[in-house]
Structure 1
Amino acid sequence: MDQTVSAVRRARRVALLVPALLGAAAVAFLAQRPLGDHAGWNGWVGTVNGIVFLAAAALPVAVLAVWALARRRRAAGVAAGWARRSALAEVGMVHGTVPWVWMILLPGVDPGGPRRRVNLVPLHDIAEIVGAGPPTTAVAQIVGNMLVFAAFGFLAPLRFAALASVWRVLALGAAGSVLVETAQYVLRLDRVSSVDDVLLNAVGAALAALASRRWWRRRAS
């Protein structure tokens, strides 16, 4: 009976993994097409499309890392279920956050120049985005900002009992966003360091924590 249940679980994992890998391959293919054959190194690491391609292409490596980390922990005596979940949470937080932060730290038109743009008025930039461009562009920018720390917000409470709180995730998301916005300012990346970005990043992390609440609450119980 136990072997049958284990086989069913393995089949379910494979059934979920195969579409995910195929989807990653499709995203990588679509992302690399605008780069062309002569984009150079900067085209791969210095553009949004390049980062999307690298993140999608790295998904099989992330899956392999989860498997290796879980296997190592099982060999060290950790329960199989927790070994898998903790490995998935750790690798997922890194793989789901680093590409977004990388995009945020891409330089603007005049990196290293004298301009250092800061906005400390809450909701000012959001109102400009909504009023200036088409709705699809505004939605894309707002949702994109909310996804920066979403992977962290979703998975951190599952991995760390001390973070099993929406308010703590919100605070950590805000702190991480402040660090990124400060880096934009200090490094003179010709980007706007905005309080609205901090608000959206933090809210996105908190909403992601709410989305996984049923699982980390169950674990806490």
Structure 2
Amino acid sequence: MMRSPMGFSSVTVALEAAVVFSPAVALAITALVWWRIRRDKPAVRVRVLLDSTADVLVPCALLLVSVLTLVNPGSGGGVVLVPFTGMLSTGMSMTTLYQSGGNIALFVPLGALLPLAYGRWLARWYRVLAVSAALSAVVELTQYLLATGHVSSVDDVVLNAAGGLLGAGLTWWWWRVGPRTGSAGPAVVAGYTADQG
């Protein structure tokens, strides 16, 4: 997904976007918390804040993936269907480590947030892995169909899925101890109940 040389420009774009859009994100979280507290009057409001934050940040993470992989043009192109071919052919250079690390890091936020926002369905390691791999495969296919200049590679799917799994591990204590039970996630906000507080 990130095989084309991008240097640090993509990271810079992501950081700038995070700074620019952070007030809007904070406003969306505040509005969702206010709506849920007013609607359900839950006993534990911290849980409402945490759930609302996850619900708002999932689309932000998806947008970040889309911008870095589809909007940001590459400088090459092609398809690599044999796993680990790209990594083995370039050896353990700094470029390979940077690109591989970037592919892993790209899906860490999604892996961390998906079980929190969709705990009813995704509070399982194998499901986070499957969803991360499926989303990555969709991105790789879209890159190929849109001819974005990126190399569509099985390696990228493997690395992205590993990033999703790593992200899930970072928030495991939260979604494992108290998964959401009354809501199907941000797609069904109305399903949020006081039982979740």
- For the aligned pair, the TM-score class normalised by the smaller chain equals 0.7 to 0.9
Identity of aligned residues (%): 33
Q: Indicate the residue corresponding to 1:54 in structure 2.
A: 17
- Structure 2 Cα separation of the partners of residues 143 and 170 of structure 1: 17
Q: Decide whether aligned partners of structure 1 residues 78 and 154 sit closer, same or farther in structure 2, where only a CA change above 3 A counts.
A: farther
The structure with the larger Rg is: 1
- C-alpha RMSD of the superposition: 2.2
Specify every segment of 5 or more residues in structure 2 that has no aligned partner in the other structure, as ranges.
1-7, 181-197
After the TM superposition, which segments of 4 or more aligned residues of structure 1 sit over 3 Å from their partners? 49-52, 128-131
Whether the 8 Å CA contact 1:146–1:202 is kept in 2: the answer is: yes
Q: Higher relative contact order by CA 8 Å / sep ≥ 6: 1 or 2?
A: 2
TM-score, normalised to structure 1, is 0.69
Q: 1:219: how far off?
A: 0.7
Whether the 8 Å CA contact 1:119–1:193 is kept in 2: the answer is: yes
- Structure 1 Cα separation of the partners of residues 176 and 79 of structure 2: 39
Q: Confirm or deny that 1:117 pairs with 2:78.
A: yes
Question: More deviation in 60-69 or 73-82?
Answer: 73-82
Q: Confirm or deny that 1:194 pairs with 2:159.
A: no
- Structure 2 Cα separation of the partners of residues 157 and 142 of structure 1: 24
Secondary structure of the 2:40 match is coil
Q: Within 5 A, what are the aligned runs for 1:37-116?
A: 48=10, 49-77=12-40, 79=42, 80-105=45-70, 106-109=72-75
Amino acid at match of 1:108: G
Q: Within 5 A, what are the aligned runs for 1:159-170?
A: 159-160=117-118, 161-170=120-129
Q: Indicate the residue corresponding to 1:11 in structure 2.
A: none
Specify every segment of 5 or more residues in structure 1 that has no aligned partner in the other structure, as ranges.
1-33, 35-46, 111-115
Q: Indicate the residue corresponding to 2:189 in structure 1.
A: none
Amino acid at match of 1:55: A
Q: 2:164 aligns with which of 205, 212, 215?
A: 205
TM-score, normalised to structure 2, is 0.76
Say how many residue pairs are matched. 168
- Structure 1 Cα separation of the partners of residues 15 and 33 of structure 2: 26
Deviations 1:38-78 (A, max 9, x none): xxxxxxxxx62344312332122212211111111111115
Amino acid at match of 1:158: L
